[in-house]
Amino acid sequence: MMNLRAEIESEVGAAAASIAPLSGGCVGQVYRVRLVDGRVLAAKVDESAHPVLAVEGAMLRALAELSELPVPAVQFCSDRLLLMDFLPGGSIFPPGAQTHAAELLAALHSITAPAFGLERDTLIGGLRQPNSWTDSWLDFFREQRLLYMAAEGARAGRLPHSVRERVAAFCDRLDDWLAEPERPSLIHGDVWTTNVLAVSDRITGFIDPAIYFAHPEIELAFTTLFGTFGEPFFKRYQELRPIPPGFFEERRDIYNLYPLLVHVRLFGGSYVNSVDRTLRRFGF
């Protein structure tokens, strides 16, 4: 078992005055660490058989390098230990904070790349997220998001084979409802409530990313799945980056099939029913 106090002092050059557990996080245990020199860090520890915290550290560093999105500065990362600045705030978003979030994400989505994906695979909810560069968004979304995660859910015994076949049939018809975006956009990839922090009307941080270059609508859709943001967010986002008609009526449900399949793979249960309802809605 890791000697967390010793590791922290070795990597950041100061002893820990206190270490307190925090809630949240699909990967490892999370702690609030106050150092004797006054600094406050968040520490993640992954002592599983296949630790992956270095991937999270790389994603946070990429966001800090490529964008102005507020993310915790990484002080040290390895597969088993991630040390980053502790960001203040909670996950309650009054209208002013939602407006600020819209401005931050619109700016993030303006960052582009020649293709969809990323130079490395990443993680979502602790699960591998493949990101092989692909010229077509529809091909990427079909192969590396829906079909891949449906196969993972079936392999884990949580998605019935019949539902997986319906997902595959639906994927054959994606271009009936979806179109290629003008360009790929950098997305955070996992914007749900507890991955966003705010103090009053200002967003103080985005944590636990699952980054890649995508159609920004997949990010916008996910913010509606569990009620992260609402009307103030979308009003401001539309002013900055207009959303074509049909998103709220059809496309957001299609894009939310991916996080639903992630939840099927992780938890099974009622999320299978949610996938079933979406497929039925579109005739599959």
pLDDT single digits (tens) 221-250: 999 999 999 999 999 999 999 999 999 999
Looking at the structure, do residues 180 and 72 belong to the same domain, yes or no? no
Reported confidence tier of residue 96, pLDDT bands at 50, 70, 90: very high
Q: What is the pLDDT of residues 135-179, one digit of tens each?
A: 999 999 999 999 999 999 999 999 999 999 999 999 999 999 999
Structural domains of the chain, count? 2
Q: Using the Cα atoms of residue 251, residue 56, residue 61 and residue 21 in order, give the sign of their dihedral.
A: positive
Q: Which residue has the tokens 């019935």?
A: 160
Q: Is the pLDDT of residue 77 over 80?
A: yes
Looking at the structure, do residues 164 and 256 belong to the same domain, yes or no? yes
Cα 58 to Cα 121: distance, rounded to the nearest angstrom: 11
Q: Is 21 a domain residue? A: yes
pLDDT, residue 54, reads 96
Q: Is 170 a domain residue? A: yes
Q: Is the pLDDT of residue 202 over 80?
A: yes
pLDDT, residue 144, reads 98
Q: Is 90 a domain residue? A: no
Which residues fall within 8 angstroms of residue 23, CB to CB, at 6 or more apart? 30
Q: Helices 270-281 and 161-171, interaxial angle, to 10°?
A: 40
pLDDT, residue 260, reads 98
Q: Is 136 a domain residue? A: yes
Domain ranges, residue 74: 4-85
Which of residues 65, 85, 105 is at a domain's end?
85
Active-site residue, selected from the candidate residues 190, 201, 253, 276? 190
- Identify whether the C-beta of residue 207 lies closer than 8 Å to the C-beta of residue 87: yes
Q: Is 243 a domain residue? A: yes
Q: Is the pLDDT of residue 106 over 70?
A: yes
Reported confidence tier of residue 132, pLDDT bands at 50, 70, 90: very high
Cα 142 to Cα 183: distance, rounded to the nearest angstrom: 17
Which of residues 39, 54, 85 is at a domain's end?
85
Cα 104 to Cα 259: distance, rounded to the nearest angstrom: 22
Integer CA distances (angstroms), 112 to 67, 116, 240, in order: 11, 9, 16
Residue 246 per-residue DSSP state: T
Is 139 designated active site? no
Q: Is 225 a domain residue? A: yes
- Identify whether the C-beta of residue 254 lies closer than 8 Å to the C-beta of residue 218: no
Considering the chain, what is the average pLDDT of its residues? 96
